[in-house]
Amino acid sequence: MAGTFAIILTLATLITAIFWFLEKFKWKPERQRRVEAVRQQTNGEVDGKVLAEVGKPKGWVESLASFFPVLFVVFVIRSFLLEPFQIPSGSMIQTLLIGDFIAVQKYSYGLRDPITNTVLISTGHPQRGEVAVFKEPHEPYRDLIKRVVGVPGDKIVYQVKEKKLLIYPACQPTAENCTGQQSEPLDLHYSEPKASNWKEVHQKYKNNPNFYTLEQYADEGIVDTDSLMTLNMQIQQETLGDQAHNILTTVGTQENPSYFYRQEGQPIATWVVPEGHYFMMGDNRDNSGDSRYFGFVPEANFVGKAVAIWMSFEKQPDEWPTGIRFYRIGGIH
């Protein structure tokens, strides 16, 4: 189901469209006929101000009708082409940072009804490795952004201790000796973990951690106190699809698999992606609520593919921006 803004925009466009068509094809021609009738009755000897008054539309009608072209353009762009989103959390660091404003390509996964999100014309499907916006399966009013890790048929194994993925893709039904999942996992080309430029900082009385680069950490004079816990973070490359991307892990922490979504018939931390569903994960692996916890995402929940950062503000969760990161503007992979 669409969000509140999408519903309001659709209704506003529809209402102004009704007034625009009535004004253009009914009310305006009627006023013009009245003006012509007055001109004929007076043999053309009538004050121009009188004719202007006779032909003048009602102010509220003119205003509503004039909004339609603008709303229509916004409606088409936002519903079918591109929609802006803001990154509010650190689950996709360092691919996406808190304060990034991104453009989401709406038509990547089909042209959809802007209210029901039903696919009207299929244009493609999410691919492994893409960064996508989708509706949280159990809270569809929430938009989340994660990376596509598993596509239909994949067997996903998350190695909790190593913080790595094993992905066994399903072989094609036409392939010789196809028995479901392939016997060998994909080569995700993991690089060796190394120290990153990030610090994970937990402050007392705050639910979500802050994430600082080493420069920010030094500039802001952050020190360990009884109300502050600072953790180092490691970075390594992982390859899903055609392009490698960076993932972050927090040193000295480990996810608790007892909280993971448990798929019937599968051991813990193992999932087989059903048809029409996808497995999504954040690049900041120890700070991401994703498919490990809420399960598979139906294709009907997808909003679009994240393709570019068009603005980026230097900020932390629930804080005011302190600057603009112009260097962040560009494409996403």
Cα–Cα distances in angstroms (integers) from residue 275 to residues 88, 140, 207, 213, 272, in the given order: 31, 20, 36, 40, 10
Q: What is the pLDDT of residue 102?
A: 97
Residue ranges for the chain with pLDDT beneath 70: 1-2, 35, 38-40, 43-55, 172-180, 218-226
Phi, psi of 277 (to 5 degrees): -130, 165
Q: What is the pLDDT of residue 175?
A: 54
Buried-exposed string 13-24: b where 16+ CB fall within 10 A, e elsewhere? beebbebbeebe
Q: What is the pLDDT of residue 57?
A: 76
Residue range 86-106, pLDDT digits in tens: 999 999 999 999 999 999 999
| pTM, two decimal places | 0.85
Domains of the chain in start order, with CATH, are 4-82 (no CATH), 132-331 (2.170.230.10)
Residue range 210-250, pLDDT digits in tens: 888 877 776 666 655 667 888 999 999 999 988 899 999 99
Helix (H, G, I), strand (E, B), or coil: what is residue 21?
helix
DSSP letter, residue 172: P
Are 188 and 159 in contact by the 8 Å Cβ rule? The answer is no
Q: Which residues are catalytic, by number? A: 91, 146
Are 130 and 251 in contact by the 8 Å Cβ rule? The answer is no
Q: What is the pLDDT of residue 150?
A: 96
Tally of CB atoms within 10 A around 111: 15
Q: What is the pLDDT of residue 180?
A: 67
Are 255 and 245 in contact by the 8 Å Cβ rule? The answer is no
Buried-exposed string 59-69: b where 16+ CB fall within 10 A, e elsewhere? eeeeebbebbe
Report how far residue 287's alpha carbon sits from residue 281's, in angstroms, rounded to the nearest whole number: 10
Amino acid in position 290: D
